[in-house]
Amino acid sequence: MPMSVTYVTVHGKLREETRGGVTTRYLGDTLGNVIKTTDDSGNVTSETTYWPFGEVRTQTGTNPSPWGFCGVWGYLTDAVSRMYVRARHYRADTSRWLTVDHYWPFEQPFQYCSNRPVQYVDYLGLASSTPRNSKKKQCGIYKCSVGLHQFICVDIDRPDGTSRNCSAGLYPEGGPRPIGPGEIGDRNYDCTNFGDITCELIIRSDDYRVCEYADAVCKCIDAAKPGQYNVINRNCYQFVDWILDCACNEFRYAGGWIGNWCRERTGHRPVIT
Protein backbone atom coordinates (compact mmCIF):
# COMPACT_ATOMS: atom_id res chain seq x y z
CA MET A 1 0.00 0.00 0.00
CA PRO A 2 1.47 3.41 -0.95
CA MET A 3 2.29 5.84 1.83
CA SER A 4 -0.44 8.45 2.35
CA VAL A 5 0.50 12.10 2.77
CA THR A 6 -1.75 14.85 4.14
CA TYR A 7 -0.84 18.51 3.63
CA VAL A 8 -1.92 21.63 5.48
CA THR A 9 -1.75 24.96 3.62
CA VAL A 10 -2.62 28.49 4.71
CA HIS A 11 -3.28 31.14 2.03
CA GLY A 12 -1.54 28.95 -0.53
CA LYS A 13 1.56 28.33 1.61
CA LEU A 14 2.60 24.85 2.71
CA ARG A 15 2.69 24.76 6.51
CA GLU A 16 2.56 21.11 7.54
CA GLU A 17 2.48 17.56 6.25
CA THR A 18 1.79 14.19 7.79
CA ARG A 19 3.61 11.43 5.92
CA GLY A 20 3.21 7.83 7.09
CA GLY A 21 1.96 9.05 10.45
CA VAL A 22 4.91 11.43 10.98
CA THR A 23 4.09 15.16 11.13
CA THR A 24 6.54 17.78 9.85
CA ARG A 25 5.95 21.51 10.11
CA TYR A 26 7.61 23.99 7.75
CA LEU A 27 8.97 27.44 8.54
CA GLY A 28 9.68 29.61 5.51
CA ASP A 29 11.48 32.88 4.89
CA THR A 30 10.07 35.86 2.98
CA LEU A 31 10.94 34.25 -0.37
CA GLY A 32 9.21 30.98 0.50
CA ASN A 33 12.31 28.86 1.20
CA VAL A 34 11.91 26.18 3.85
CA ILE A 35 14.60 27.21 6.33
CA LYS A 36 13.52 25.10 9.29
CA THR A 37 11.42 22.00 9.99
CA THR A 38 9.99 20.86 13.30
CA ASP A 39 8.24 17.73 14.50
CA ASP A 40 4.79 17.51 16.04
CA SER A 41 6.21 18.51 19.44
CA GLY A 42 7.94 21.62 18.11
CA ASN A 43 11.46 20.18 18.18
CA VAL A 44 13.69 21.44 15.36
CA THR A 45 14.55 18.58 12.99
CA SER A 46 16.47 20.51 10.30
CA GLU A 47 17.78 23.97 9.42
CA THR A 48 18.83 24.99 5.91
CA THR A 49 20.26 28.03 4.15
CA TYR A 50 20.38 28.51 0.38
CA TRP A 51 22.42 30.26 -2.27
CA PRO A 52 20.39 32.78 -4.30
CA PHE A 53 19.45 30.38 -7.13
CA GLY A 54 18.46 27.57 -4.79
CA GLU A 55 21.50 25.40 -4.12
CA VAL A 56 21.80 24.29 -0.50
CA ARG A 57 24.45 26.33 1.28
CA THR A 58 24.32 24.79 4.77
CA GLN A 59 22.12 22.15 6.35
CA THR A 60 21.85 20.57 9.77
CA GLY A 61 19.54 17.70 10.60
CA THR A 62 17.32 16.02 8.03
CA ASN A 63 14.36 17.41 6.14
CA PRO A 64 12.32 14.26 5.41
CA SER A 65 10.33 15.89 2.61
CA PRO A 66 11.06 17.15 -0.94
CA TRP A 67 10.19 20.75 -0.02
CA GLY A 68 13.22 23.04 0.24
CA PHE A 69 14.06 26.00 -1.99
CA CYS A 70 10.76 27.90 -2.46
CA GLY A 71 9.17 24.79 -0.99
CA VAL A 72 6.48 26.79 0.79
CA TRP A 73 5.16 27.63 -2.71
CA GLY A 74 5.34 24.03 -3.92
CA TYR A 75 8.78 23.71 -5.54
CA LEU A 76 9.33 19.93 -5.29
CA THR A 77 12.90 18.59 -5.44
CA ASP A 78 13.24 15.08 -6.88
CA ALA A 79 15.95 12.44 -6.48
CA VAL A 80 18.19 13.93 -9.20
CA SER A 81 18.11 17.52 -7.91
CA ARG A 82 15.48 18.76 -10.33
CA MET A 83 12.69 20.94 -9.02
CA TYR A 84 9.21 20.36 -10.33
CA VAL A 85 7.41 23.73 -10.65
CA ARG A 86 4.14 22.75 -12.32
CA ALA A 87 4.73 23.81 -15.95
CA ARG A 88 8.35 22.60 -16.12
CA HIS A 89 11.49 21.61 -14.19
CA TYR A 90 14.28 23.80 -12.80
CA ARG A 91 17.86 23.04 -11.75
CA ALA A 92 19.45 25.20 -9.08
CA ASP A 93 23.01 24.15 -9.95
CA THR A 94 22.68 25.68 -13.43
CA SER A 95 20.16 28.38 -12.42
CA ARG A 96 18.18 27.49 -15.53
CA TRP A 97 14.90 25.87 -16.52
CA LEU A 98 15.25 22.58 -18.39
CA THR A 99 12.67 23.36 -21.06
CA VAL A 100 11.63 26.47 -22.96
CA ASP A 101 9.10 28.77 -21.31
CA HIS A 102 5.59 28.32 -22.70
CA TYR A 103 5.40 32.12 -22.96
CA TRP A 104 8.54 32.42 -25.09
CA PRO A 105 9.39 34.75 -26.89
CA PHE A 106 7.55 37.04 -24.48
CA GLU A 107 9.49 35.48 -21.59
CA GLN A 108 13.15 34.44 -21.55
CA PRO A 109 13.29 30.78 -22.62
CA PHE A 110 15.48 29.37 -19.81
CA GLN A 111 16.33 32.26 -17.46
CA TYR A 112 15.08 31.93 -13.89
CA CYS A 113 13.21 34.93 -12.47
CA SER A 114 14.97 37.46 -14.73
CA ASN A 115 18.23 36.57 -12.90
CA ARG A 116 16.83 38.26 -9.78
CA PRO A 117 16.14 35.23 -7.56
CA VAL A 118 16.20 37.11 -4.26
CA GLN A 119 13.38 39.39 -5.40
CA TYR A 120 11.07 37.19 -7.44
CA VAL A 121 9.38 33.79 -7.45
CA ASP A 122 7.95 31.80 -10.35
CA TYR A 123 4.90 30.03 -8.97
CA LEU A 124 3.93 28.11 -12.11
CA GLY A 125 7.15 27.86 -14.10
CA LEU A 126 5.80 30.47 -16.51
CA ALA A 127 6.54 34.01 -15.31
CA SER A 128 8.22 35.61 -12.32
CA SER A 129 6.48 37.84 -9.80
CA THR A 130 7.04 39.18 -6.30
CA PRO A 131 6.32 36.87 -3.36
CA ARG A 132 2.64 37.02 -2.44
CA ASN A 133 3.43 38.04 1.12
CA SER A 134 5.34 41.10 -0.11
CA LYS A 135 3.72 44.42 0.73
CA LYS A 136 6.30 46.65 -0.93
CA LYS A 137 5.74 46.33 -4.63
CA GLN A 138 2.36 47.77 -5.52
CA CYS A 139 2.13 50.01 -8.57
CA GLY A 140 -1.02 51.54 -9.97
CA ILE A 141 -2.09 53.60 -12.98
CA TYR A 142 -5.38 55.49 -12.95
CA LYS A 143 -7.45 57.47 -15.41
CA CYS A 144 -9.03 60.33 -13.47
CA SER A 145 -11.58 62.96 -14.39
CA VAL A 146 -13.28 66.11 -13.21
CA GLY A 147 -16.24 66.85 -15.40
CA LEU A 148 -15.05 66.44 -18.98
CA HIS A 149 -11.37 66.80 -18.09
CA GLN A 150 -9.31 63.60 -17.99
CA PHE A 151 -5.78 63.01 -16.82
CA ILE A 152 -3.52 60.15 -15.77
CA CYS A 153 -2.13 59.45 -12.30
CA VAL A 154 0.64 56.96 -11.45
CA ASP A 155 1.53 55.58 -8.02
CA ILE A 156 4.78 53.58 -7.81
CA ASP A 157 6.05 51.69 -4.75
CA ARG A 158 9.34 49.94 -5.56
CA PRO A 159 10.84 46.85 -3.88
CA ASP A 160 13.62 48.92 -2.28
CA GLY A 161 11.05 50.99 -0.41
CA THR A 162 11.33 54.09 -2.61
CA SER A 163 8.23 55.47 -4.25
CA ARG A 164 7.18 57.93 -6.90
CA ASN A 165 4.01 59.64 -8.03
CA CYS A 166 3.49 61.37 -11.34
CA SER A 167 0.50 62.72 -13.19
CA ALA A 168 -0.40 64.66 -16.30
CA GLY A 169 -3.43 65.97 -18.10
CA LEU A 170 -4.45 68.66 -20.54
CA TYR A 171 -6.40 71.81 -19.93
CA PRO A 172 -6.72 74.93 -22.12
CA GLU A 173 -4.42 77.85 -21.47
CA GLY A 174 -7.42 79.86 -20.36
CA GLY A 175 -8.29 77.61 -17.44
CA PRO A 176 -9.62 74.21 -16.36
CA ARG A 177 -12.31 73.59 -18.97
CA PRO A 178 -12.50 70.82 -21.61
CA ILE A 179 -9.88 71.29 -24.29
CA GLY A 180 -11.30 71.77 -27.78
CA PRO A 181 -10.14 70.34 -31.12
CA GLY A 182 -6.91 71.97 -32.26
CA GLU A 183 -6.42 73.94 -29.04
CA ILE A 184 -3.08 74.12 -27.29
CA GLY A 185 -3.26 72.72 -23.78
CA ASP A 186 -0.96 73.12 -20.81
CA ARG A 187 0.05 70.01 -18.97
CA ASN A 188 -1.11 69.72 -15.39
CA TYR A 189 1.05 67.67 -13.03
CA ASP A 190 -0.93 67.57 -9.84
CA CYS A 191 -3.87 65.18 -9.53
CA THR A 192 -5.13 67.23 -6.59
CA ASN A 193 -5.41 70.53 -8.49
CA PHE A 194 -8.96 69.85 -9.55
CA GLY A 195 -10.62 69.28 -6.19
CA ASP A 196 -13.02 66.35 -6.18
CA ILE A 197 -11.86 63.82 -8.74
CA THR A 198 -13.15 60.47 -9.94
CA CYS A 199 -10.57 57.84 -10.82
CA GLU A 200 -10.85 54.62 -12.79
CA LEU A 201 -8.23 51.94 -12.19
CA ILE A 202 -6.34 50.98 -15.35
CA ILE A 203 -3.74 48.65 -13.82
CA ARG A 204 -2.62 47.86 -10.30
CA SER A 205 -0.39 44.93 -9.46
CA ASP A 206 2.70 43.75 -7.59
CA ASP A 207 4.06 42.26 -10.83
CA TYR A 208 7.47 43.87 -11.36
CA ARG A 209 6.71 44.44 -15.04
CA VAL A 210 3.70 46.56 -14.12
CA CYS A 211 5.98 48.69 -11.95
CA GLU A 212 8.48 48.97 -14.80
CA TYR A 213 5.63 49.97 -17.10
CA ALA A 214 4.46 52.56 -14.57
CA ASP A 215 8.00 53.96 -14.55
CA ALA A 216 7.83 54.15 -18.35
CA VAL A 217 4.56 56.12 -18.10
CA CYS A 218 6.28 58.65 -15.85
CA LYS A 219 9.20 58.87 -18.29
CA CYS A 220 6.77 59.62 -21.13
CA ILE A 221 5.21 62.37 -19.04
CA ASP A 222 8.61 63.85 -18.15
CA ALA A 223 9.88 63.65 -21.73
CA ALA A 224 7.12 65.98 -22.96
CA LYS A 225 8.51 69.06 -21.19
CA PRO A 226 8.01 71.99 -21.21
CA GLY A 227 4.48 70.68 -21.09
CA GLN A 228 2.58 72.09 -24.04
CA TYR A 229 0.79 69.72 -26.39
CA ASN A 230 -1.07 70.55 -29.58
CA VAL A 231 -3.86 67.99 -29.89
CA ILE A 232 -5.03 68.12 -33.50
CA ASN A 233 -8.71 67.29 -33.98
CA ARG A 234 -8.77 65.47 -30.67
CA ASN A 235 -9.60 66.29 -27.08
CA CYS A 236 -8.14 65.60 -23.69
CA TYR A 237 -9.71 62.15 -23.54
CA GLN A 238 -7.14 60.87 -26.03
CA PHE A 239 -4.26 62.29 -24.02
CA VAL A 240 -4.39 59.47 -21.44
CA ASP A 241 -4.39 56.80 -24.14
CA TRP A 242 -1.50 58.50 -25.90
CA ILE A 243 0.62 58.44 -22.75
CA LEU A 244 -0.22 54.77 -22.16
CA ASP A 245 0.76 53.89 -25.72
CA CYS A 246 3.94 55.94 -25.43
CA ALA A 247 4.97 53.76 -22.47
CA CYS A 248 3.94 50.62 -24.33
CA ASN A 249 6.49 51.40 -27.03
CA GLU A 250 9.12 50.19 -24.56
CA PHE A 251 7.18 46.97 -23.95
CA ARG A 252 6.44 45.77 -27.47
CA TYR A 253 8.57 42.68 -26.89
CA ALA A 254 8.28 42.49 -23.12
CA GLY A 255 7.24 39.30 -21.38
CA GLY A 256 4.26 38.51 -19.21
CA TRP A 257 0.73 39.76 -19.36
CA ILE A 258 1.72 43.46 -19.33
CA GLY A 259 3.51 42.91 -22.65
CA ASN A 260 0.43 41.22 -24.07
CA TRP A 261 -1.76 44.02 -22.72
CA CYS A 262 0.40 46.56 -24.53
CA ARG A 263 0.30 44.60 -27.77
CA GLU A 264 -3.50 44.66 -27.68
CA ARG A 265 -3.64 48.44 -27.45
CA THR A 266 -4.40 49.88 -30.91
CA GLY A 267 -6.08 52.92 -32.34
CA HIS A 268 -5.45 55.28 -29.43
CA ARG A 269 -2.78 57.56 -30.86
CA PRO A 270 -3.80 61.17 -31.48
CA VAL A 271 -1.33 63.43 -33.24
CA ILE A 272 0.56 65.30 -30.53
CA THR A 273 3.37 67.74 -31.25
Strand extents, DSSP E, the chain: 5-10, 13-19, 22-28, 34-38, 44-50, 56-61, 76-77, 82-85, 88-91, 96-97, 139-146, 149-157, 163-172, 184-187, 198-205, 228-230
CA-CA distance, 74 to 72, in Å (whole number)? 6
Tens of pLDDT along the chain (273 residues) come to 566 889 999 878 899 999 888 999 999 998 999 999 999 999 999 999 999 999 999 999 988 889 999 999 999 998 888 999 988 999 999 999 999 988 776 678 899 998 889 888 888 888 777 776 555 457 888 887 766 566 788 888 766 667 788 887 766 555 555 555 555 555 554 555 555 567 788 888 777 678 888 888 888 877 764 444 544 444 455 677 778 888 888 776 555 667 777 777 654 444 333
Q: Please give the model's pTM, rounded to 2 decimal places.
A: 0.56
The H or E element containing residue 189 is none
Q: Enumerate the domain spans of the chain.
A: 5-115, 139-263
Q: 238 vs 128, 149, 153, 176, 215, CA distance in Å?
A: 33, 11, 15, 17, 20
